Amino acid sequence: MTDINETHDPALTSWIESANGPTADFPVQNLPYGVFSDGASGSPRPGVAIGDNILDLRLIEAAGLLPTEQPVFDGQSLNAFMALGRAGWSATRSALSRLLSTDGDSRLRDDPELSERALVPRAKCQMHMPVAIRGYTDFYSSREHATNVGKMFRDPENALMPNWLHIPIGYNGRASTVVVSGTDVHRPMGQTRAPGAEGPQFGPCRKLDIELEMGALIGGGNPMGRPISVTEADAMIFGYVLLNDWSARDIQVWEYQPLGPFQAKAFATTISPWVVTQEALEPFRVHGPAQSPVPLPYLVQRGAYNFDVQLEVRLTPDGSSDSTTICRTNFKHMYWSSAQQLTHHASSGCAMETGDLLGSGTISGAERDSLGSLLELTWNGNEPLELASGGSRSFIEDGDILTLYGRCRGDGYNVGFGEAGGKVLPAVDFTGET
């Protein structure tokens, strides 16, 4: 854990006016990292969101305003910076905080030529994948979500599998289909078997769903063969993104036994373009749910390892300007923390690397409107949701736009995550060779 320091001071303001006030999601207390391009330069480059602007990190690093010993922002991803580790991340955050604060380091503010070049309006920018994802693992760590799924598809009296309270359950996903917010997603094709049918058929998914998650991005890593402690794992987490693990429920039901999800999850995972650092989230650390039975010693965490992040999902039908908020929940509900997930992942000696992405698993709360998937919200399609624009949804239809939002609410300021959205396009017809 990182101590609360001067960068977290609620009284801090920025000389960039749009970063100030109770409605700003990107104040000087946040400083999330992303990769952007604009009309002035077609080259994607790292930046930090501050108010309605993006600060060009490549430019100010070259100007000598950052404490990096060697260039880490001269590429098209955040990986080189993430590889520095916690000390480098914290030193850079402190330098940025001083450069952008009203009463801090005035070198950027007092250089009109540099500040004009380095501060780019966000409205004029295109966002890109912030990180070159090396590996992607998705977990299943909300007790409420796992219980609901168990009730639906197994024994309502014994909804949780025997191992669930002892181990963070996960599976290896596809890094190649992790995409940034705003990327369209095609409805997947796959094998399904209708109830009572003798065999399967191949065709478009009919039960397309979302999973509202958070994604933890790893910086640094551990050598192959060396497990890590929960404390070490926490120190390896660079930051968090919003994550939608699109899911084909009908394909999943047919394929998941005996080895778990495969094609039902491999077709797309959407993340937000802004990475909110774990250091920015320090004021929002909270204790997670009590764990009973007590985990095995290597998974025991002493302290607060969850985060109070308010989340919501909105659905906008094709051609409509009216969106419906279908879910409001909170990251703090997770039974297994991201640090525990990472610890377990490395416990066999698995080498974790800079750029690895860990999905939290669907984030569901105890209330009906806090359930993080349509599978739960409509109880497998049996109780459709009414939409603000008219009509209803059991699962996602072609043309629908699903958007995730997240923010922490501090003492007079927000730490916002932006959004992670995508539009669903029709399946690409494929019948195989004839």
Burial label, 42 (beta-carbon count in 10 A; 0-12, 13-18, 19+): exposed
| Cβ neighbours for 258, distance < 8 A, ≥ 6 positions apart | none
269-271 vs 178-180, strand pairing mode: parallel
Instruction: Report angle CA 333, 162, 157 to the nearest 5 degrees.
Output: 80
H or E element, residue 231 = helix 230-236
List of residues 6+ apart from 42 with CB closer than 8 A = none
Cis peptide before 293 (omega within 30 of 0): yes
221: left (phi over 0), alpha (psi -120 to 50) or beta: left
Length of the chain: 434
Secondary structure element (H or E) that encloses residue 94, with its range: helix 86-100
Tokens of 175: 């890094």
DSSP 8-state assignment for residue 220? S
User: Is 145 among the residues known to form the active site?
Assistant: yes
Active-site residue, from 145, 333, 344, 345: 145
- Count Cβ atoms below 10 Å from residue 163 Cβ, excluding itself: 8
Among 368, 418, 422, residue whose Cα is nearest residue 399? 422
Return the active site residues. 145
